[in-house]
Amino acid sequence: MNKKFLPTRSVNAVWHPCTQMKQHENIPPIPIASGHGVWLYDVDGNGYIDAISSWWTNLFGHTNPQINAAICDQLNKLEHVMLAGFTHEPVVELSERLSKLAPGALGHCSYASDGASAIEIALKMSFHYWLNHNQPEKNNFVCLQNDYHGETLGALAVTDVAIFKEIYAPLLRPSSTVPTPDWRYASVGESPREYAQRAANELEKHLQKHHAETAALILEPLVQGAMGMGMYHPEYLKLARQICDNYQVHLIADEIAVGFGRTGAMFACDQANITPDFLCLSKGLSGGYLPLSVVMTNDTIYHAFYDDKTSRAFLHSHTHTGNALACRAALATLDIFKHDHIIETNKIKADYLNQITLPISTHPKVTDFRNCGMIWAFEVETKDPAFSEKFFQAGLKQKLLLRPLGNTVYFMPPYIINEQEMKLLADGTLHVLNSL
Measuring CA to CA, which residue among 369, 404, 375, 371 is closest to residue 387? 404
Closest to ligand PLP by CB, 119 vs 125, is 119
Interacting span for ligand PLP (CB under 6 A) from 99-107, 129-137, 143-151, 209-217: 143-151
User: Least CB distance from residue 151 to ligand PLP, whole Å?
Assistant: 6
Residue 380: strand pairing partners: 366
Closest to ligand PLP by CB, 325 vs 394, is 325
Is 160 a binding residue for ligand PLP by CB under 6 A? The answer is no
Is 154 a binding residue for ligand PLP by CB under 6 A? The answer is no
Cβ atoms of 371 and 350 closer than 8 Å: yes
Distance CA 291, CA 310 (A): 29
Exactly one of 120, 160, 204, 254 binds ligand PLP (CB under 6 A); which one? 254
Closest to ligand PLP by CB, 274 vs 433, is 274
User: Least CB distance from residue 18 to ligand PLP, whole Å?
Assistant: 10
Is 377 a binding residue for ligand PLP by CB under 6 A? The answer is no
Exactly one of 130, 148, 195, 410 binds ligand PLP (CB under 6 A); which one? 148
Exactly one of 62, 138, 149, 328 binds ligand PLP (CB under 6 A); which one? 149
Is 225 a binding residue for ligand PLP by CB under 6 A? The answer is yes
Is 264 a binding residue for ligand PLP by CB under 6 A? The answer is no
Q: How far is CA 232 from CA 137, 162, 193, 224, 374, in A?
A: 32, 21, 8, 8, 15
Residue 372: strand pairing partners: 375
User: Least CB distance from residue 46 to ligand PLP, whole Å?
Assistant: 27
Is 374 a binding residue for ligand PLP by CB under 6 A? The answer is no
- How many residues sit close enough to ligand PLP to count as binding (CB under 6 A)? 13
Interacting span for ligand PLP (CB under 6 A) from 7-15, 112-120, 208-216, 390-398: 112-120
Exactly one of 103, 115, 221, 413 binds ligand PLP (CB under 6 A); which one? 115
Is 116 a binding residue for ligand PLP by CB under 6 A? The answer is yes
The contact pattern for ligand PLP, residues 266-295, with x = CB under 6 A and - = no contact, is ----------------x-------------
Task: Order across the sheet with 32-36: list the strands.
Answer: 32-36, 39-42, 47-50, 400-401
Interacting span for ligand PLP (CB under 6 A) from 146-154, 294-302, 314-322, 388-396: 146-154
User: Least CB distance from residue 278 to ligand PLP, whole Å?
Assistant: 13
Exposed/middle/buried for 309, CB within 10 Å: 0-12, 13-18, 19+?
exposed
Q: 340: which residues sit within 8 A by CB, 6+ positions away?
A: none
Interacting span for ligand PLP (CB under 6 A) from 38-46, 110-118, 227-235, 428-436: 110-118
User: Least CB distance from residue 336 to ligand PLP, whole Å?
Assistant: 21
Is 230 a binding residue for ligand PLP by CB under 6 A? The answer is no
Interacting span for ligand PLP (CB under 6 A) from 252-260, 327-335, 341-349, 379-387: 252-260
Q: By CB under 6 A, what part of segment 383-422 binds ligand PLP?
A: none
Residue 252: strand pairing partners: 218, 278
Residues of this chain that bind ligand PLP (CB under 6 A): 114-116, 119, 148-150, 220, 225, 254, 256-257, 282
